[in-house]
Amino acid sequence: MKRIAVLASGTGTNLEAILEAQHRGEISGRVALVLSDQAEAKALGRARRRGVEALYMNPKEYGGREGYDRALVEHLKAAGIDLVVLAGFMRLISPYFVNAYPLQIMNIHPSLLPAFPGLEGVEQALHYGVKVSGCTVHFVDEGLDTGPIILQEAVPVIQEDTVDTLHQRIHAVEYRLYPTAIDLFCRDKLKVEGRRCFIID
């Protein structure tokens, strides 16, 4: 059974969806640890309420990005983590971290990558005027939202949309897509060749 760590900075509704999917037996792995860089992150409470170990690590205590990531990786390795899931984790991951978990770190982004990477993907898409946006689950490499795409699903933009309404509909898709991608990983069903990620039968 693969051991999963979820890293989250904020509300953690994706974390909740992942924990619910696990509870329903839809993920053949176990969330063993939740880590946050924000003391007040609601994600920490969500984890604790479900009996999952939750840890706040203050970035100011570790001297810079790489120092922080070294400490993170130390915790993850000590906990025997096989898969790192970023769920609204608002920090850039250092090359050190990526190399410690090659093709074992996933992220979810609220746009159809490679369109609108970085911060505020929903806002960027809405202001650009696209008629279709969506969300993307991808492996994390050293770039910003550039790693191999695992799953992607479109969400139509409607005329009346605000950032909030569009983000709500994207969130609803994320709650289904992220657990699916995690389960595929846990069942060793993902194979990456170059930029392409294949689902093995």
The distance of closest approach from Cβ of residue 139 to ligand GRF in the complex, given in angstroms and rounded to an integer, is: 14
Distance CA 196, CA 198 (A): 6
- The 3-state DSSP class for residue 45 equals helix
Tell me how far CA of residue 17 lies from CA of 13, 56, 87, in angstroms.
Answer: 6, 20, 11
Q: Residue 12 — left, alpha, or beta (φ > 0 → left; ψ -120 to 50 → alpha)? A: left
- Interface with ligand GRF, residue 11, by CB under 6 A: yes
Question: Under rule CB under 6 A, which residues in 73-92 are in contact with ligand GRF?
Answer: 87-88
Work out how close the CB of 200 gets to ligand GRF at its nearest, in angstroms, rounded to a whole number.
Answer: 26
Which of 19, 32, 44, 109 lies at the binding interface for ligand GRF (CB under 6 A)? Answer: 109
**Which residue number, 70 or 130, has a Cβ lying nearer to ligand GRF?**
130
Residue nearest to ligand GRF (CB): 88
CB 133 within 8 A of CB 91: no
Among residues 10, 59, 117, 148, the one that binds ligand GRF under rule CB under 6 A: 10
Residues in the chain: 201
Enumerate binding residues for ligand GRF (CB under 6 A): 8, 10-14, 87-88, 108-110, 135, 171, 174
